[in-house]
Amino acid sequence: MTVNQIIGDSKNQIFANFGKRFFAWMMAPSTNKYDKIVSDRKRSIFANLQGKVLEIGPGTGPNLPYYPKDIHWIGIEPNPHTHYSLQKQAEKLGLNIDLRSGNAEWLDAEDNSIDTVVSTLVLCSVPNIDYTLQAILRVLKPGGRFLFIEHVAAPQRSLLQQLQNTISPIWQVIGDGCHPDRETWIALGKASFSSIHYERFDAQLPIVSPHIIGVATK
Range scoring the smallest mean pLDDT among 10-19, 57-66, 87-96, 117-126: 10-19
Which candidate, 159, 143, 161, places its Cα nearest to that of 151? 161
Give a yes or no: residue 183 inside a domain.
yes
Q: How many Cα atoms within 13 Å fall on the side-chain side of residue 197?
A: 4
**Which residue range forms the structural domain that includes residue 80?**
10-217
pTM, full prediction: 0.84
Given a cut of 60, whether residue 49 has pLDDT beyond it is yes
pLDDT tens digits, 65-90: 999 989 999 999 988 878 888 999 99
Report the relative pairing of strands 195-202 and 210-217 from DSSP bridges.
antiparallel
Per-residue exposure over 19-36, b if at least 16 CB sit within 10 Å of its own CB, e if not? bbeebbeebeeebeebee
Give a yes or no: residue 151 inside a domain.
yes
pLDDT of residue 82: 82
Given a cut of 60, whether residue 154 has pLDDT beyond it is yes
DSSP secondary structure letter of residue 146 = E
Query: Total structural domains in the chain?
Result: 1
pLDDT-based confidence at 31, cuts 50/70/90? low
- Gap between the Cα atoms of 16 and 176, Å rounded: 7
Give a yes or no: residue 182 inside a domain.
yes
CB of 53 closer than 8 Å to CB of 73: yes
pLDDT tens digits, 171-181: 887 777 889 99
DSSP secondary structure letter of residue 122 = -
Give a yes or no: residue 15 inside a domain.
yes
Which region, left, alpha or beta, applies to residue 175 given φ > 0 means left and ψ of -120 to 50 means alpha?
alpha
Other beta carbons within 10 Å of 111:
10
Give a yes or no: residue 173 inside a domain.
yes
Give a yes or no: residue 121 inside a domain.
yes
Give a yes or no: residue 140 inside a domain.
yes
Q: What is the CATH number of the domain that holds 88?
A: 3.40.50.150
- Gap between the Cα atoms of 53 and 75, Å rounded: 8
- Gap between the Cα atoms of 79 and 176, Å rounded: 9
Give a yes or no: residue 2 inside a domain.
no
